[in-house]
Amino acid sequence: MATKKANTSSIPKLSVSAKIDRMIERENATVKAYASVNIGGAFVIKDIAVVDGQKGMFARMPFRSYKTGSGETKYSDIAFALTDEARQSLNDAVLGAYREALEESEDELPDEDESPAQKM
């Protein structure tokens, strides 16, 4: 099936907000968390991974994998941004939510200087 290039010059800018659905607590994990993104209050994308890659942190869109006739595994994004601006806005929202979640989880950790008796 042929794909037609979308005319992106008249696409209005939509608000993008993100929230972290779950953090990954495994040491040395490449995927640090999973997020959901709300676009314009009308569309939600779930299972966006926060990835710590070789070039830094980024938001990886949800994808599916499939095998070709020759047995090769291929990957295809389920949802994706059409413009660089939209991709950057989505990435910024997800990474911002991740940083906030990290700060909140650090605030919840007990101080190492406090003994259990001091907390009571």
* Domain-embedded: residue 5: no
Write down the pLDDT at residue 13.
76
Q: How many domains does the chain have?
A: 1
Which residue type sits at 120?
M
Q: Is residue 120 part of a domain?
A: no
* Mean predicted lDDT score pLDDT of the chain: 88
Cα→Cα distances 14→2, 10, 73, 109, Å: 28, 12, 34, 36
Domain that holds residue 29: 16-109
Specify the pLDDT at position 72: 97
Whole-number Å distance between alpha carbons of 10 and 17: 22
Q: Is the residue at 117 inside a domain? A: no
Residues 37 and 89: their CA atoms lie apart, in Å, by: 11
Burial of 94 (0-12, 13-18, 19+ CB in 10 A): buried
The per-residue pLDDT for 80 is 94
Tokens representing 17 are: 């907000």
Helix (H) or strand (E) holding 43, with range, is strand 43-53
In terms of pLDDT, which residue wins out, 48 or 112?
Answer: 48
pLDDT of 37-91, one tens digit each? 999 999 999 999 999 999 999 999 999 999 999 999 999 999 999 999 999 999 9
Q: What pTM does this model have?
A: 0.77
Which CATH number belongs to the domain containing residue 73 in this structure? 3.30.1120.40
Residue 1: inside a domain: no
